[in-house]
Structure 1
Amino acid sequence: MELQVDEVYDGTPSCVKTARHTIKVFLARLGTEHLARITADTVTGAQLVVSELVTNAVRHTDGTCGMHLAYRDSRGIEITVWDNAYGSLTTREWDPDRPGGFGLEIVRTLCGPLTITPTDHGKQIRVRIPLPQAA
């Protein structure tokens, strides 16, 4: 069974809130339509990941951005955020004294590695959020 959602955003800060709502609704559908085990921690973590990735797209690029959510199997939810900026993401070494810039570190902690792929119109960042195993 498969479930997918695609959204395109105007690149304004309000789209971050919309993206958080979209992942919450997606997970609710996944739980009811596909009988996946969705915990409150899964929803909170997924909303945090989406918020960080879409915020980066809004803050560091101009123009539209978008998000693709996909569930294909029990391995987890694939989240892809795209924007119109070419180039890779800037990662920083861990510095507990740094006042910010921890978004990608948070995403990696929750999801594992990021896949960054150049596209004809910019780049896309893909991560996978694992789902809790059935009891």
Structure 2
Amino acid sequence: MRGRASYEMVSGDIARVRDFVREFLISAQNLRGWAVSARALDVAQLVASELATNVCKYAPGPCLVDLEADGTTLGIVMWDSGSVLPVASAADPTRVGQHGLELVLMVCKSLEVHQETVGKSLRALIDLADSPDTPLFGPATG
């Protein structure tokens, strides 16, 4: 199942991206009968929101969002016209803000960043169903 939307990344578009992801996953449940956990629905919206926020902050202008699900995994691909590739900052509990990419890395199965002919694309993969080994808050440390 696939979906695509484009946004100018003006006021309210981050919420529209989040809504697009939620509606896509609800359609996947209703039309295909795929299991989508509440956690996956929340994580997908969080990831889409964080990626869209980065577009607004660092690559203002048009943005394309492609969604693809196979019944077990959701792929979110976000393309923007910015040429600078995002890099997660080193962990710093005293830093205020700029934790979006860190969060995305913690909750996704994988994240790929690609330089494109024009701009860049980010591809996040999210498991749709919970499993016993699905961490709730990222990998344990210590």
Same fold (TM over 0.5): yes
C-alpha separation in 1, matches of 2:110 and 2:9: 25
C-alpha separation in 2, matches of 1:46 and 1:116: 17
Kindly provide the amino acid, as one letter, of the partner of residue 116 in structure 1.
V
C-alpha separation in 1, matches of 2:109 and 2:21: 18
Instruction: Give the secondary structure class of the aligned counterpart of 2:110.
Output: coil
C-alpha separation in 2, matches of 1:73 and 1:38: 8
Percent identity of paired positions between Structure 1 and Structure 2:
27
Q: Which residue does the alignment assign to 1:25? A: 23
Q: 1:25-59 deviations in whole A, cap 9, x for unaligned?
A: 00101111111111222211111110000110111
Q: What aligned pairs does 1:39-118 form with structure 2 within 5 A after superposition?
A: 39-74=37-72, 76-118=73-115
Establish whether residue 10 from structure 1 lines up as the match of residue 8 from structure 2: yes
Kindly provide the amino acid, as one letter, of the partner of residue 22 in structure 1.
F
Aligned CA-pair RMSD = 1.4
- Number of aligned pairs? 131
TM-score by length of 2: 0.86
Kindly provide the amino acid, as one letter, of the partner of residue 131 in structure 1.
L
C-alpha separation in 2, matches of 1:62 and 1:38: 32
C-alpha separation in 1, matches of 2:62 and 2:85: 18
Where do 5+ consecutive residues of structure 1 fail to align? Answer: none
Where do 5+ consecutive residues of structure 2 fail to align? Answer: 132-142
TM-score by length of 1: 0.90
Establish whether residue 128 from structure 1 lines up as the match of residue 138 from structure 2: no
